[in-house]
Amino acid sequence: MQVQRSEREIISNILKGSLGNLIEWFDWYVYASFAVYFAPSFFPSHDKTAELLSTAGVFAIGFLMRPLGSLILGKYADQHGRRAALTLSVLIMASGSLVIAITPSYAHIGIFAPVILVLARLFQGLSLGGEYGTSATYLSEMASRNHRGFYASFQYVTLISGQLIALGVQIILQMTLTNEQLTEWGWRIPFIIGALGAIIVLFLRLSMAESDQFASQKAKSKGSLKELMRYPKAVLTVVGLTLGGTIAFYTYTTYLQKFMINSVGLPTQSVTRINFLALLIFMILQPIAGAISDKIGRRPLLFWFGGLGTIFTIPIFVALQHATTSWEAFWLMLAGLVIVTGYTSINAIVKAEMFPTEIRALGVGLPYGLTVAIFGGTVEYLALYLRKINHENLFFVYVTVVIFISLLVYWRMTDTKATSKLDK
């Protein structure tokens, strides 16, 4: 039975949990945002696309640890509490950022530089894998019953905020440092900021209240894989729900920046500003869409994403290829993000509503982590590879097909607002 909390208490705890989510995603996205600058330090090459392929490969490797992080920290959260798991995850992320910030370049330590980079990203992937399921669970359990979609949407508000702050730091550094300075040493600054921010958030999370649903449960098989396997339909639904959403999200956020530079031919600084403004609007849309789902249910928003994503992905990217101004690119990027909002705003609450308390963090995190590792983490690498072999348009078809597959899942699933296990 959930203890009644005042809205002030709910907001306070959600804010503390969300700030941790923000800094974790800032640390994660700093890598993608500054890859164009630090790639020569770890993977020296005369071919810019080859350098980006190498950094994208490491980005994908980090994703491979996310299922393991979802398993380890998801079980930990279900057995020892949401607060304990969230505190541990942010500590691991801080360590990874600090290691990247102080690692010498390839010119100084040779092959050890990319090896250390890979290891640091593996630990960050472990952290982020555990963060998603536990954070989604905590926000959903802390939210008041009639505002779960609204409060749970703040997972992506803070996720996008982390990316926005990473881009904001990039804009400031681009304005104050030359390209040579950014490539030589300036790219280390955001990793230092991320490490320090994570340490501050660590102390905030220590003061969070534990979820009452976790505190009051009496199940003995908490966080058990055997227990999770009692819900095969829910697990498979999370996979199908996530498939199109994660590919679309990483396509329109992390990859689109490189697409605008490499394929459209826009200046790097203009692309950074386009991304910042579009993502700012995208962030504002999340709680609006989440609140709408509290009124009309979750499925209409999923249909919005699945239907429009299937129809408009290819036209948006073909139009982007022929964009001649920054404003054209901005409006096309924003159109894609408005469509993706149907998934991002409510995916956390939809997944949390499918599982009982004793395996909620594991149930939300593990199938999601596996799907993101296989499909989300390879978005950049696949897109860059298809560009390198002169078949870039096949990537647009790929994104469309997986969104359509998710649309079929949305069509068959029930609306979790009406069948929520958070009420039991």
Q: Are 129 and 369 in contact (CB under 8 A)?
A: yes
What confidence tens digit (pLDDT) does each residue in 188-202 have?
Answer: 999 999 889 888 888
d(CA 326, CA 345): 27
Cβ-based neighbour number of residue 87 at 10 Å: 18
**Separation CA 418–CA 282 (nearest Å):** 27
Q: Which two tokens stand for residue 328?
A: 């054209």
User: What pTM does this model have?
Assistant: 0.83
Report residue 178: phi and psi, to 5°: -80, 165
Decide if 162 contacts 26 (C-beta within 8 A): yes
Q: What is the pLDDT of residue 342?
A: 96
Query: Which pLDDT score, from 0 to 100, does residue 135 have?
Result: 85
In the structure, what pLDDT confidence band is assigned to residue 333 with cuts at 50, 70 and 90? very high
Query: Which CATH class, in words, describes the domain spanning 7-211+223-412?
Result: mainly alpha
Say how far apart CA 16 and CA 203 lie, in whole Å: 10
Give the start-to-end residue ranges of the domains of the chain: 7-211+223-412
249 contacts: CB under 8 Å, gap ≥ 6: 340, 343, 344, 376
Consecutive H or E run containing 315: helix 299-321
pLDDT over 50 at 1, yes or no: no
Express each pLDDT in 279-309 by its tens digit.
999 999 999 999 999 999 999 999 999 999 9
